[in-house]
């Protein structure tokens, strides 16, 4: 599903998100905390007011945690499917 979304984006915009410098840096993240730190660094570069930074940070932390949990669930589900296919 994610690969389809990336391909659709690439077709529509002629830009490959996987080659974006931020995507490359995100691949090295090993935990939600790493992702949050990287995204907060990007937010600070936007030169926004302090109140906007805090509001974005309050939204960012739980969002990254939910995405990490979803990713873990999908990964576990994929392992079950692969395992069952292997046994058949």
Q: What is the pLDDT along the chain (88 residues), one digit of tens a residue?
A: 778 888 898 999 998 988 988 888 888 888 878 888 888 887 777 655 555 556 666 777 777 777 777 777 777 766 666 555 555 5
Two tokens, residue 31: 């935990």
Helix (H), strand (E), coil (C) string for the chain? CHHHHHHHHHHHHCCCHHHCHHHHHHCCCCCHHHHHHHHHHHHHHCCCCHHHHHHHHHHHHHHHHHHHHHHHHHHHHHHHHHHHHHHC
This prediction has a pTM of: 0.49
pLDDT of residue 38: 86
pLDDT of residue 53: 59
| C-alpha to C-alpha distance for 5 and 32, rounded to whole angstroms | 22
Q: Which residues contact 31 (CB under 8 A, 6 or more apart)?
A: 68
pLDDT of residue 2: 76
């Amino acid at each position: 599903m994610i690969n389809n979304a990336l391909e659709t984006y690439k077709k529509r915009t002629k830009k490959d998100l996987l080659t974006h410098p931020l995507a490359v840096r995100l691949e090295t993240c090993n935990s939600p905390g790493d992702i949050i730190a990287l995204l907060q660094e990007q937010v600070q570069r936007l030169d926004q007011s302090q109140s906007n930074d805090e509001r974005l940070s309050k939204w960012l932390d739980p969002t990254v945690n939910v995405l990490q949990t979803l990713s873990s669930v999908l990964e576990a589900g994929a392992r079950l499917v692969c395992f069952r296919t292997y046994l058949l």
